[in-house]
Amino acid sequence: MAKYIVEFIGTFFLVFTVGMTVIGAGAGVIPPLAIGSALMVMIYAGGHISGGHYNPAVTLAVWIRGRCSTVDAIAYWVAQVLAGLAAAYVVLYMRKQPTVTAMNPDLARALIAEALFTFALAYVVLNVATAKGTAGNSNYGLAIGFTVLTGAFAVGDISGGAFNPAVAVGITAMGLSAVKNIWIYLVADLAGGAAAGLVFRLLNPDDK
């Protein structure tokens, strides 16, 4: 049970930081730096208990790689989505029910952007947090958090830069993304995570 609570706490602070900085600071250097840092610190805080996924696409990748049981994967998904929703409602209260405009992304480009960087994110996670070759390295949290920072800078203006279905649920509940577009994140992010799981197995045949 402790690990599900840890997943809830970490995802809550990640999505809360997304909402507070995107609504508060808009575009620029602040949201990606804050969001990447939020993910990083929550990974350092909770990684030793839950693995520090905070992201259904990462959980899918870790499940494919064989380091997460099916029961845990389902419970993680539930905890992550509930945390994304909870964070969204706290953001709406803290920002006084802001008037925000949902993005109007170009579908093909948004799908590519989300798939590419969710692949990168899960590829980094699997290599820095589950591979034998990087055991003992302290920088897994920095690497994972700053992959999201990089992706948010690179393609944030194209897809919003979620790379995470729980974040997608949160920004949809906040009104930053339209309900009709949530499938973009679900499809592209889970596909990117699954692809990373398969690529990891291909590249590391001896690391079971």
Residues 73-112 that bind a copy of itself (CB under 8 A): 90, 93-94, 109, 112
Task: By CB under 8 A, tell whether 198 contacts a copy of itself.
Answer: no
Backbone angles phi, psi at 156, to 5 degrees: -60, -35
Does position 49 interact with a copy of itself (CB under 8 A)? The reply is: yes
Distance CA 33, CA 145 (A): 9
Q: Which is nearer to a copy of itself, 74 or 203 (CB)?
A: 203
DSSP 16-28: HHHHHHHHHH-SS
Residue whose CB is less far from a copy of itself, 185 or 200: 200
Look up residue 182 and give its two tokens: 């949530």
Coil, helix or strand for 104? Answer: coil
Distance, CA of 102 to CA of 115 (rounded, Å): 20
Per CB under 8 A, residues contacting a copy of itself are: 2, 5-6, 9, 13, 16-17, 20-21, 24-25, 28-34, 36-38, 40-42, 44-49, 90, 93-94, 109, 112-113, 116, 120, 123-124, 127-128, 131, 133-134, 136-144, 146-147, 149-150, 153-155, 157-158, 199, 202-204
